[in-house]
Structure 1
Amino acid sequence: MGLLSRASYVVRSKVNSLLNRAEDPTETLDYSYEQMRDELKDVERGLADLVAQKKRLEVQRERLQENVEKHNEQAREAMRQDREDLARRALEKKQAKLESIEEMEDQIASLESTQSDLEEKKSQLQERIERFRTKKETMKARYEAAEAQNRVSEAMTGVGDEMADIGRAIERAEERTDDMEARAAAMDELTERGVFEDQLSDEDAIDRELSQGRSNREVEAELETLRAENGGEQASSGGETSASVDEAESAVDESEIDESAVDAELEELREEEDAGKDDSST
């Protein structure tokens, strides 16, 4: 097989595949039915034309027959007047009219035969069209039922084109949702760890840690209060309570020491800055 033959074969196969997918059997059946009805209309028009032609010949035949009678009268009147020559001419015309009538009768008989054939073919075509219409409606009903059943089956199994698109859309939505949830969780974690500063807040990471420390001390103080209110446990755990209070006080002292050290460092930085300004002014 040559290159052109192979290309032609491939093109025809592709076109045939596209036509098979695009073809709707119900539309094809309707189109065929309309074509058959058009053929029937053509037969009816042809039959009507033939009958009209036959009627015209019959009218002409009747006129010729009237002329034949007229020529007979002319011939008799001519003989009564001893005009044999006129009688001969009238009879000659009569004979010509009779020949024309004979030809017309042959034509009329032929047209009648053709009319009978057309009427029979028309009757057969009508019966054929009626059978096809019944079969067409039956096939359309079967096709539509099969198509509906196929759509339901595809929807139930999820193998149809539309269901496949829906499945892919759901997968993409799930992937994007998972990514957004993971990103939100990561941002929350980094914010809690102080990696991202809140641009709308005056607090920094140190302030948040100090605030967390104060919250912890308040919680510990409330716990100590609850322990003190519980009389049954106070007697058995008096030493532990006093130790816990001492630890809390020592934590407070350490916090105060740390804050005083920070204040001292800040004061030294201010003095150094002032000394630098004096040197620059001299």
Structure 2
Amino acid sequence: MGLLSRASYVLRSKFNALLNRAEDPTETLDYSYEQMRDELKDVERGLADLVAQKKRLEVQRERLEKNVEKHNEQAREAMRQDREDLARRALEKKQQKLDQIEEMEEQIASLESTQHDLEEKKGQLQDRIERFRTKKETMKARYEAAEAQTRVSEAMTGVGDEMADVGRAIERAEERTDDMEARAAAMDELTDRGVLEDQLSDEDAIDRELSQGRSNREVEAELETLRSESGQSSKRSETASEASADEAEAEEAVEADVDEAAVEAELEELREEEADADETS
């Protein structure tokens, strides 16, 4: 395949693909339907012209038939006047008119046959157009339903052209946002390290480091304060625990003393009861 042939093939392929994308089946069906209706109108116009031509021939035939009668009368009148030569001329004209009438009758018969064929074809074309119209409306309804379903499905799944554009826009926005965030972080890092100076600030890198040192010392001081407060709280907790232990031991000792006194009292009562029993016996 030569270079020109390949180029022509590629161009035809591109053109066909473009036509396929641009083609709307509903418009194509409507156009085909209108074309068929135009053909029917052409048939109707042709049929009307044919009938008009047949009518003109019939009028001419009637006129010739009248001339035949006229020539008959002329021939009779000539014979009554003993003018055989005139009678012969009238009969010759009569024969010419009869020949013309015969030729016209053949033409009229041919036109009538053509008219009959056209009427049948017209009826068949009308039936075909009606069937096509019904099929056309059905196909249009199916196509529109499928197109709507496709649009909904593409919108739901995000595979349509518009949704693809939206997806690409979101991706570009995310990429640009990431770039801007990375650039901002880089600028902050370079500024903190003193590589870049803040043109709107009077502080230089040394001032920022000194300020950072003061901030660190303040933080350490606060931490030391918190440690001291935490240590005092621990000591108070230990003292409170020791006091609670001493109080518990004292309470236990008091309870023990009370229990021993009660036991001794009960023993004394038992001794007295035994002594009274011995005296009685």
TM-score range, shorter chain: 0.5 to 0.7
1:115 maps onto 2:107 in alignment: no
The CA deviation string for residues 54-110 of structure 1, in whole angstroms up to 9 with x for no partner, is: 122112112212212221232233233221211221122112112211221121122
The match for 1:174 is 174
- Bigger drift between 43-52 and 21-30 goes to 21-30
Query: Deviation digits for residues 185-206 of structure 1, max 9, x if unmatched?
Result: 2222332443321223333223
The 2-side partners of 1:147 and 1:176 are apart by 36
Structure 1 residue 11 displacement after superposition:
8.8
Compare 127-136 and 81-90 and name the one that shifted more.
81-90
Give the structure 2 partner of residue 30 of structure 1.
Answer: 30
- More divergent stretch after superposition (18-27 vs 160-169): 18-27
Distance across 1 between alignment mates of 2:12 and 2:217: 86
In structure 2, the partner of 1:135 is 135
Aligned-pair identity in percent equals 91
2:268 is aligned to none
Residues of 2 paired with 1:74 and 1:184: CA distance?
Answer: 124
Secondary structure (helix, strand or coil) at the match of 1:194 reads coil
2:102 maps to 102
C-alpha displacement at 1:169, in angstroms?
2.3
Q: CA RMSD in A?
A: 3.7
Task: Give, in whole Å, the separation in 1 of the partners of 2:190 and 2:142.
Answer: 64
User: What is the deviation of 1:127?
Assistant: 1.3
Q: What one-letter code is carried by the residue in structure 2 that aligns with 1:128? A: R
2:69 maps to 69
1:109, 1:98 → 2: CA distance? 16
TM-score by length of 2: 0.67
Matched letter for residue 97 of structure 2: K
SS in 2 for 1:62: helix
d(CA) in 2 for partners of 1:200, 1:7? 63
Q: Is the radius of gyration larger for structure 1 or structure 2?
A: 2
Match of 2:125 in 1: 125
- 2: distance between equivalents of 1:218 and 1:13? 78
Counterpart CA distance in 2 for 1:211 and 1:61 is 127
Mapping of residues 2-13 of structure 1, within 5 Å = none
Cα deviations by residue, 1:229-275 (Å, 9 ceiling, x for unpaired) = xxxx9xx9xxxxxxxxxxxxxxxxxxxxxxxxxxxxxxxxxxxxxxx
Instruction: Specify the code of the residue in structure 1 equivalent to 2:179.
Output: D
User: Equivalent residues in 2 for 1:144-163 (5 A)?
Assistant: 144-163=144-163
- How far does the alpha carbon of each residue in 1:36-57 deviate from its partner, in whole angstroms, 9 at most, with x for none? 2232122122212211211221
Give, in whole Å, the separation in 1 of the partners of 2:217 and 2:163. 60
How far 1:176 moved relative to its partner? 1.1
Shift of 1:10: 8.9
1:31 deviation in Å?
Answer: 2.9
Equivalent in the alignment of 1:185: 185
In structure 2, stretches of 5+ residues that fail to align are 227-231, 236-281
Distance 1:13 1:199, change over 3 A: closer
User: Counterparts in 2 of 1:195-234, with a 5 A limit?
Assistant: 195-210=195-210
